[in-house]
Amino acid sequence: MVQNKIIHRFLMKRMKKWRNREYLFVDPTSMADISFLLLLFFIVTSSFLIREGIFFSLPEKSAAVKVEEKNVIEAYPEEKGFRVDGRLFQRKEFKKLLERAVSESPKKILIIRMGSEIKYDRLVDALSVAKETGLNRISLKHDFGDDKE
């Protein structure tokens, strides 16, 4: 019985403390509004990073242009590099070769000859090297293996 009185008194004191407190209530709709506005703010103010790709301006079928042989560089992408004039170049060497060619004459044209056994990433690598060197006159040619063109 004595224990019940002690517990009762303790609980009553505690209840008095809680009665006098003010409760904070945050309306969830206003929180949703604030979060939506913050989201909108960050979307509008953030800068969007647009990845640069390799874009081609394709000529018309009848728009064939005669080009001097000295202005043409033929490259054959291979698994371990690029073959130009019978020599195999690594990526860095191929890039230097193209930079030299562009510095000699800005009218140089790169012909990338792709065989059906060459993987697509080798073509992308050749195009990115050409873009890095500033060579923007590029032609793609498919090699059928028996010189059909």
Q: How many domains does the chain have?
A: 2
Residue 66 phi, psi dihedral angles, 5° rounding: -80, 130
Residue 62 phi, psi dihedral angles, 5° rounding: -85, 5
- Do 82 and 137 share a domain, yes or no? yes
Rounded CA separation 107/17 (Å)? 88
Q: Please tell me the predicted confidence (pLDDT) of residue 102.
A: 87
Q: Please tell me the predicted confidence (pLDDT) of residue 37.
A: 92
Domain assignment present for 31: yes
Place of tokens 């960050």: 42
- Do 139 and 74 share a domain, yes or no? yes
- Do 19 and 74 share a domain, yes or no? no
- Do 73 and 139 share a domain, yes or no? yes
Q: Please tell me the predicted confidence (pLDDT) of residue 4.
A: 76
- Do 78 and 135 share a domain, yes or no? yes
Q: Please tell me the predicted confidence (pLDDT) of residue 148.
A: 39
The tens place of each residue's pLDDT in the chain, 149 residues long, gives 667 788 877 777 777 666 666 666 767 778 888 899 999 998 888 877 676 666 666 677 776 777 778 888 888 888 888 889 889 999 899 999 989 988 888 888 888 888 888 888 888 888 888 888 888 888 888 876 654 34
Q: Please tell me the predicted confidence (pLDDT) of residue 109.
A: 87
Domain assignment present for 13: yes
Domain that holds residue 20: 2-45
**8 Å CB contact between 77 and 123:** yes
Q: Please tell me the predicted confidence (pLDDT) of residue 108.
A: 86
* E strand or H helix at 84: strand 81-84
- Do 40 and 101 share a domain, yes or no? no
Domain assignment present for 39: yes
Ramachandran assignment for 141, one of left (phi > 0), alpha (psi -120 to 50 degrees), beta (any other): beta
Q: Please tell me the predicted confidence (pLDDT) of residue 138.
A: 85
